[in-house]
Amino acid sequence: MEDPRIAIYVFVDGATKGPNWGGQVAGPIFKRIMGQVMRYWNIAPKDKSLQPILPEEIRVPNFVNLT
């Protein structure tokens, strides 16, 4: 985005219960906050059936016997 109207930064320090990965803890918090922002600004959610765009092919160099 060239000119965002909002930035959300979720910082979780020392979570002791639940998952150990940051995205699993911060993701639901972000979702709840962004949902409230979208309702406040009357922004309709987009189609949830969209899939992420992935590259057609990823080529990895051959590192066999190079160690």
Where are the domains positioned within the chain?
Answer: 1-44
Residue 51: both structure tokens together: 């899939």
Tell me the average pLDDT across 61-65: 89
Task: Read off the pLDDT band of 29 (50, 70, 90).
Answer: very high
Q: What confidence tens digit (pLDDT) does each residue in 32-50 have?
A: 999 999 999 998 877 666 6
Average pLDDT of the residues of the chain = 82
Q: What's the average model confidence in pLDDT over 11-36?
A: 83
- What is the spatial distance between Cα 41 and Cα 53, in angstroms, rounded to a whole number? 27
Element (H, E) at 24: helix 22-40
* Tokens representing residue 24 in the block: 């699993």
